[in-house]
C-alpha cells in the first residue's frame, strides 16, 4: 500500500510537467508556421522587387539607347545646319560675283556695240514709213516674223551651238550661209542686226558669264563669221538680250528651244553708199 501511494504521488508531481511540454510544443509549432508564412511573404516580396528592378533596368537601358540616338540625331542636325550655312555663304558669294559679272558684261556689251557702230557706221533709226518697202522672207524650216518695221529671222541656237557653248559647230555653217544668201538677195542694201537671245534657264557660259553674256558671245560668233565671209560688211551691228525678249512662253521645252536663238534682224534703213 505504501508503494502504491508513492507511485501515485510521483504521478501527481509529473502531471504539471507533461502539461507544460505539450503547451511548449504547440507554441513552437505555431511560431514555426508564423515564421514560414513570413518567409514566404518575404520571398514573394523579394520576387516582386527583383521583377521591378529588372523592369527598371530594361527601361534604363532603353532610355540610354534613346538618349544616344537623340545625341546622334542632334549631331547630324548640327552638321546639316553647318552645311546649310556654308552653302548659304557660298550662294551669297556667288550671287555677289554674278552681279559683278553682269555689271561687267553690261559694260562690255555697251562698249562692243559702240565699237561696232563706229566700225560699221550702222546707226539704226526708226522709219516705219519704209515698212512697205521690205519684201517678205520665206525659207522652209526657218521662223520669220515682222516686228514693227523690221523683219526678224530666227536661227535656232540648237542648230548653231552645243549646249552652253559660244563656238559655232560645223553644222551651223550651211544654215548660216543659206539664210544670209537669201537675205543678201532679198535685202541687198538694208542694215542688219545680229541679236542673241536665251531661254529662261540660268546658264553659265564657258567665259564665266550668265545668260546676258552668253547671248552677246553667240551673237558675236555669228557676226564674226559673217565678217570673215565679207557678208553685210559695213551694215551690221550686234546685241545680246539674254532671256529678256522671249518669242513664246518658256513653260514648255519647245518654247524654250525657240526662245534660245540668234536673230538676223533686217531694218528698213539702207546702209550709206560706199559702205
CB 191 within 8 A of CB 275: no
Reported residue count of the chain is 275
Q: 244: which 3 cell numbers?
A: 529678256
Q: Given this model, what pLDDT does residue 182 score?
A: 93
d(CA 146, CA 140): 16
d(CA 182, CA 185): 5
d(CA 98, CA 116): 26
CB 245 within 8 A of CB 205: no
Q: Which residues pair with 197 in a beta bridge?
A: 261
Q: Given this model, what pLDDT does residue 195 score?
A: 96
Give 118-122's long-range contacts (Cβ < 8 A, gap of 24+).
Answer: 120/233, 120/234, 120/235, 120/236, 120/237, 120/275, 121/234, 121/271, 121/272, 121/275, 122/191, 122/192, 122/234, 122/235, 122/236, 122/237, 122/271
pLDDT beneath 50, residues of the chain = 4, 11, 119-131, 274-275
Q: Given this model, what pLDDT does residue 258 score?
A: 95
Q: Given this model, what pLDDT does residue 125 score?
A: 45
Q: Given this model, what pLDDT does residue 77 score?
A: 85
Q: Given this model, what pLDDT does residue 140 score?
A: 86
Give 140-143's long-range contacts (Cβ < 8 A, gap of 24+).
Answer: 142/179, 143/247, 143/258
- Biggest alpha carbon–alpha carbon distance for the chain: 185
For the chain, give every domain's residue range.
Answer: 20-104, 121-270
Kindly tell me the sign of the dihedral angle through the C-alpha atoms of 255, 140, 190, 193. Answer: positive
Predicted TM-score (pTM) of this structure: 0.53
**Fold exhibited by the domain 121-270:** 60s Ribosomal Protein L30; Chain: A; (3.30.1330)
Q: Given this model, what pLDDT does residue 126 score?
A: 43
Amino acid at each position: 500500500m505504501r508503494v502504491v501511494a508513492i507511485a501515485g504521488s510521483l504521478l501527481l508531481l509529473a502531471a504539471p510537467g507533461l502539461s507544460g511540454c505539450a503547451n511548449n510544443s504547440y507554441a513552437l509549432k505555431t511560431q514555426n508556421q508564423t515564421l514560414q508564412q513570413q518567409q514566404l511573404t518575404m520571398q514573394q516580396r523579394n520576387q516582386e522587387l527583383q521583377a521591378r528592378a529588372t523592369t527598371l533596368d530594361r527601361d534604363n537601358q532603353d532610355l540610354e539607347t534613346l538618349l544616344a540616338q537623340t545625341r546622334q540625331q542632334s549631331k547630324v542636325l548640327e552638321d546639316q545646319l553647318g552645311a546649310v550655312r556654308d552653302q548659304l555663304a557660298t550662294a551669297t558669294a556667288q550671287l555677289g560675283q554674278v552681279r559683278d559679272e553682269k555689271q561687267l558684261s553690261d559694260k562690255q556689251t555697251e562698249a562692243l556695240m559702240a565699237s561696232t557702230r563706229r566700225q560699221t557706221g550702222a546707226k539704226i533709226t526708226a522709219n516705219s514709213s519704209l515698212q512697205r518697202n521690205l519684201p517678205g522672207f520665206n525659207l522652209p524650216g526657218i521662223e520669220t516674223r515682222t516686228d514693227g518695221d523690221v523683219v526678224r529671222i530666227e536661227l535656232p541656237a540648237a542648230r548653231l551651238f552645243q549646249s552652253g557653248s559660244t563656238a559655232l559647230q560645223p553644222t551651223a555653217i550651211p544654215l548660216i550661209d543659206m539664210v544670209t544668201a537669201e537675205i543678201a538677195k532679198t535685202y541687198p542694201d538694208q542694215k542688219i542686226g545680229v541679236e542673241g537671245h536665251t531661254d529662261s534657264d540660268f546658264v553659265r557660259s564657258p567665259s564665266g558669264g550668265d545668260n546676258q553674256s552668253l547671248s552677246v558671245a553667240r551673237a558675236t560668233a555669228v557676226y564674226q563669221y559673217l565678217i570673215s565671209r565679207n557678208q553685210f560688211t559695213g551694215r551690221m551691228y550686234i546685241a545680246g538680250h539674254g532671256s529678256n525678249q522671249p518669242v513664246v512662253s518658256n513653260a514648255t521645252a519647245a518654247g524654250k528651244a525657240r526662245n534660245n536663238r540668234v536673230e538676223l534682224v533686217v531694218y528698213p534703213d539702207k546702209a550709206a553708199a560706199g559702205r
